[in-house]
Amino acid sequence: MGNEKLEEQCLFEIKSGMYGDPLTAKGTVSSEGLRTIYNWTEKHSEDEKETHFVLTLIKEESKAIVVRNGDVTSRMVFEAGNKTTNSMKTAFGIIDVVIDTDYINFPGGLIDGAEISYTLDPDSGDPIRNIFSIKRLLQNEEI
């Protein structure tokens, strides 16, 4: 087992306090060394453009990095037990946020997905607590 990259197409269930109902999205999951990388695209309404996400989990560093490209563009770093400063580019300008990550559950064992618990503290308002999770629903060459 070297650093070979394995990529599979699959269907994800994504849950977030920011969404309400769970979202189902097509995407890919790949492993590169000790990293697990999830790629998917979301569209919540007709008037919203598609948003592309890449979530990279780095277990040995207790870190997750989420890159988002769409109506909002951002690169958010989550480090278990630490606060990180990030920024989001929105239609209203750039919003700086501090992310205080409680924990990150990494894939492994019975978990075919990941969960991140954090508080997002925008420079403009009240902190928002959230738990984000992504779970692989199935593997299928025909997706």
Integer Cα distance of 124 and 138 in angstroms: 40
Predicted pLDDT of residue 143? 47
Q: pTM score, two decimals?
A: 0.87
Q: For residues 86 and 96, is the Cβ–Cβ distance under 8 A?
A: yes
Q: Which of 50, 57, 56 is nearest to 73 (CA)?
A: 50
pLDDT band at 2 (very low <50, low <70, confident <90, very high): very low
Q: What is the mean pLDDT of the chain?
A: 88
SS3 assignment, position 56: strand
Q: For residues 54 and 28, is the Cβ–Cβ distance under 8 A?
A: no
State mean pLDDT over 34-51. 87
Query: Whole domain around residue 124: which residue ranges?
Result: 5-139
Predicted pLDDT of residue 44? 73
Residues 6+ apart with CB under 8 A from 73: 88, 89
Predicted pLDDT of residue 65? 98
Predicted pLDDT of residue 62? 93
Predicted pLDDT of residue 1? 42
47, HSE (Cβ side, Cα atoms, 13 Å)? 0
Integer Cα distance of 81 and 60 in angstroms: 14
State mean pLDDT over 21-36. 90
Pairing of strands 23-32, 5-16: antiparallel
pLDDT band at 142 (very low <50, low <70, confident <90, very high): low
Sign, CA dihedral 103-139-29-88, equals negative
Between 124 and 132, the more confident residue is 132
Q: Tokens standing for 138? A: 């199935």
Predicted pLDDT of residue 45? 76
Q: Tokens standing for 65? A: 């990095």
Supply the CATH number for residue 38's domain. 2.40.128.20
Residue that is written with structure tokens 């189902």 in the block: 24
- Number of domains making up the chain: 1
End-to-end CA distance of the chain: 27
